[in-house]
Amino acid sequence: MKHLQDLPSWRELWKHFDATKGLHMREMFEQDPERAQRYWLEVGGITLDYSKNRITDETLELLFKLAREAGLPERIKQMFHGEKINETENRAALHIALRNRTNSPIEVDGEDVMPKVNHVLHRMGEFAHEVRSGEWLGYTNQVITDVVNIGIGGSDLGPLMMCTALKPFGHPRLRMHFVSNVDGSQLRDVLEKVHPETTLFIIASKTFTTQETLTNALTAREWFLKHAGEEAAIAKHFAAVSTNIKAVSEFGIDTANMFEFWDWVGGRYSLWSAIGLPIMLFLGEENFIEMLNGAHLMDQHFANAPLEQNMPVLLALIGIWYINYYGGGSHVIAPYDQHLHRLPKFIQQLDMESNGKQVTLDGQPVAHETAPIIWGETGINGQHAFFQLLHQGTHITPIDLIASLEKRSNLPGHHEILLANVFAQAEAFMRGKTPEEARAELTAQGLAAEEAEALVPHKTFSGNRPSNIILMTKINPRNMGSLIALYEHKTFVQGVVWGINSFDQWGVELGKQLAKTILNELTGKTAVQPHDSSTERLIRLYRNTNCSKTEGC
Ligand code: F6P
């Protein structure tokens, strides 16, 4: 396979970088009044303004050339045709099939996956209807009021993020709870709030082997049985979402209450599958389908639009420009919307678990950076916390500012303040403030020349700091579907250009393996084995602290 550093465009981009790195966006805007109009794209309900980036037409041309030389158009086709692009696990990556609203056949190993996708979607719809309408009754014939999703990683973050984002669309009777942490305090806090007679537990795990999820699920089951008494009641209060039918039935959940998905759905790409059951319960089938429609719209755009007008491709390539050439090692996701406060965490898993890789598809060490560190927070809160570093720190940190055009509440004045801040931050990142401007401001405030001069360096902003503005016409199921699909495809494009596999996650395994051994040592099941001196000392400290309370110690 061809490596990135061997591609002609990779070297041309380095030359171009050297020639343009001194350019300031301020001048680019001054010289080109059409810049915003040209670096602007709308897809469905999503508008991307990418004009405040350190790019010129030539930068973009070279980046598109890079994508072509890296084989992006072919790779997109392979993904959409169900080819096994997740090579280390010998699997397709077919989240697009889950929202394939045209229902055109997509084959894996010669079998069209659409009938089973539609079948599970239909079953989810029926189940959601029963729970929402109140037809589904608990073991004492009461309606369900609380849904507790027990899952972690992709089996938690997507449903939690969507239910939070789309709260105004939620069923008024249903309270949604999410338990992911094996620290018992999270489950205990939820169990204190809910009642066994009116609670539905969804055990969500692709593998149904994840230690944290199974431990929480067993504790929830014990808690439930303590109240309900008989095992027969479980069928009314426990559902499972998994690819592993055998493990689900061994756990004791009736497989009639199991919603299946398949190994070609990656955990972090699974909210469109049965993993989205909490979303469907909360929002209803129609809204869930709308979310799928929105994602499908972005899929169609991604598959068919030329690279030059392709939103996921643009976001990905501009990201690569900073990561690989400017050495920008992190990327901020800043939603200007309280209900989107879970979005940075969701995108963090999506991007970092997908592209946090150090070898190419052929097992060779990469000769360049891969995924940046994704972090973030609601933008308005970030402004009063970490934005200082973004404006005047020493790192180049690109940021996505995400907001809704439609007002999110009818409280007068709030939305305008929010949006004014989005636009002002992006302008400030781009323009900065020159020493002359700072000096003039200080002098106008009446400071003596010497005093003003001492402050000028502190009040100067270099500017030229990149941002993307992503505006949604409104935050609704359809636009959320499009937004998440946009980030999924952005991640995929970056993975393709870097020549890595975005769909495996071997890096999470080592810690899991070691934890199994250490758990036995902590509980006294096995003697403490030789470790490094630090690990051994920590294990002994824990045992000394808890021995009298721990069985077998
Ligand atoms: O450990 C990482 C991971 O495998 C993620 O990729 C996944 O989303 C999460 O754990 C949960 O896995 P499962 O759904 O199989 O419980």
H-helix or E-strand containing 351?
helix 343-355
With beta carbons less than 8 A apart as the criterion, state whether 302 and 312 touch: yes
Asked about 353 being catalytic, the answer comes back as: yes
CB distance 205 to ligand 1 below 6 Å? yes
pLDDT bracket for residue 403 (50, 70, 90): very high
Query: What spacing in Å lies between the alpha carbon of 295 and ligand 1's midpoint?
Result: 22
Per-residue confidence (pLDDT) for residue 110, from 0 to 100: 96
CA distance 227 to 241: 24
Residue 52 phi, psi dihedral angles, 5° rounding? -95, 50
Tokens of 436: 């002359």
Q: For a pocket test of ligand 1, which of 91, 150, 155 has the largest count of ligand atoms closer than 8 A to its C-beta? A: 155
Q: For residue 534, count other CB atoms closer than 10 A to its CB.
A: 8
C-alpha to C-alpha distances, 189 to 25, 134, 330, 341, nearest whole angstrom: 50, 26, 34, 21
CA distance 543 to 13: 56
Asked about 451 being catalytic, the answer comes back as: no
Q: Residue 551 above 70 pLDDT?
A: no
Query: What spacing in Å lies between the alpha carbon of 462 and ligand 1's midpoint?
Result: 42
Q: How is residue 549 annotated by DSSP?
A: G
Q: Residue 549 above 80 pLDDT?
A: no
Q: What CATH number is given for 4-18+39-70+305-431+466-502 in this structure? A: 3.40.50.10490
Atom of ligand 1 nearest to the CA of 207: 15
Per-residue confidence (pLDDT) for residue 350, from 0 to 100: 98
Per-residue confidence (pLDDT) for residue 547, from 0 to 100: 76
With beta carbons less than 8 A apart as the criterion, state whether 31 and 51 touch: no
Q: In what order do the strands lie in the sheet with 467-472?
A: 40-43, 46-49, 467-472, 399-404, 330-335, 373-376
Indicate which residue of 192, 226, 230, 384 is catalytic: 384
Per-residue confidence (pLDDT) for residue 2, from 0 to 100: 81
Q: For a pocket test of ligand 1, which of 258, 505, 509, 516 has the largest count of ligand atoms closer than 8 A to its C-beta? A: 505
User: End-to-end CA distance of the chain, in Å?
Assistant: 54
With beta carbons less than 8 A apart as the criterion, state whether 144 and 198 touch: yes
- CB burial of 404-433 (b: ≥16 within 10 Å; e: otherwise) equals beeebeeeeeebeebbebbeebbebbbbbb
Nearest CA to ligand 1 atom 2: 508
- What mean pLDDT is predicted for residues 441-461? 97
* pLDDT tens for each residue of 180-213: 999 999 999 999 999 999 999 999 999 999 999 9
pTM across the whole model:
0.97
Task: Write down the residue that tokens 């999503």 correspond to.
Answer: 46
Per-residue confidence (pLDDT) for residue 1, from 0 to 100: 82
User: Of 2-6, 33-37, 429-433, 534-538, which gets the smallest average pLDDT?
Assistant: 2-6
Share of the chain above pLDDT 90, in %: 97
CA distance 456 to 444: 13
- What mean pLDDT is predicted for residues 136-140? 98
Alpha carbon 513 to chain centroid distance?
Answer: 25
Atom of ligand 1 nearest to the CA of 267: 8
CATH entry, 99-289, from 3.30.70.260, 3.30.56.10, 3.40.50.300, 3.40.50.10490: 3.40.50.10490
Asked about 34 being catalytic, the answer comes back as: no
CB distance 210 to ligand 1 below 6 Å? yes
CB distance 360 to ligand 1 below 6 Å? no
User: Of 264-268, 342-346, 522-526, which gets the smallest average pLDDT?
Assistant: 522-526
- What mean pLDDT is predicted for residues 455-464? 98
Query: What spacing in Å lies between the alpha carbon of 349 and ligand 1's midpoint?
Result: 10
- What mean pLDDT is predicted for residues 427-453? 98
Atom of ligand 1 nearest to the CA of 204: 14
Residue type, 333: I
